[in-house]
Structure 1
Amino acid sequence: MWKLGRLWTLFRKELLLAWAVLRDPRAPRAAKLATLAAVLYVVSPIDLVSDFIPVLGWLDDGIIAYLLLQVAFKFLPPELMAALRSKVESRARPVAR
């Protein structure tokens, strides 16, 4: 069960990083377009594999969105990627009380 929690944490960080790419004015247009394409593919009713097929339909959405996000992250300059990752890490880290 801890693997599922770890997977959720990684997924959440990737989503926060994608949101940061869309909001940062220093991000190249190609990175923003690839991120937007990932979001549009997930919400689009047009899929490679229909969502009516229980697991495969959702799995293809996740895999294609993940691959598009990785393409978007490749377009980012290394220093911007590092800055955005550190920003996301600080935001995603739970506050100790």
Structure 2
Amino acid sequence: MKRIKLWAKKLKQYLFILYFAYKDGRVPLYAKLFTAGVVAYAFSPIDLIPDFIPIIGYLDDLVFVPLGIILALKMIPQAVLADCEKKANEMMKNGKPKNWVVGTIILALWALFALWFSVTVYKLVK
């Protein structure tokens, strides 16, 4: 169990490293795009395979995200990774910053989607 927790903590650290690498100007555009996709997917509440599906529901969390992290890390220059690792370690010690504006936007988008879905279902039932 301790080994799994260590693995999960390391994955989280790699995601923060990738987050900082995405913002670094020394990273090639193709690597930035791929890295942004991996980080966004990992932090997104929406999964490719929903978690409620037995067994394969966690496949993306256990296979796709780590595979994406590995590929993204290979695309980024080592000097950038070293700098970003320092930043990630510092952020993990101090706690990650909260972006209330982005959180509010995401909640508003979900609320609009729920409203649209409710209206659509209501029209179909009516």
Residue in structure 2 matched with residue 68 of structure 1 by the alignment:
68
Larger Rg: 2
Residue in structure 2 matched with residue 16 of structure 1 by the alignment:
16
List alignment gaps of at least 5 residues for structure 2: 95-126
Q: CA RMSD in A?
A: 2.9
List alignment gaps of at least 5 residues for structure 1: none
The count of corresponding residues between Structure 1 and Structure 2 is 93
RCO higher in 1 or 2 (8 Å CA, sep ≥ 6)? 1
Q: How does 1:76-87 map to 2 (within 5 A)?
A: 76-87=76-87
TM-score (norm 2): 0.57
Instruction: After the TM superposition, list the runs of 4 or more consecutive aligned residues in structure 1 that deviate by more than 3 angstroms.
Output: 39-47
**1:3 matched to 2:12:** no
Q: Conserved in 1, the CA contact under 8 Å of 2:18 and 2:39?
A: no
Change (3 A) 1:46 1:14: closer
Residues of 2 paired with 1:45 and 1:84: CA distance?
A: 26
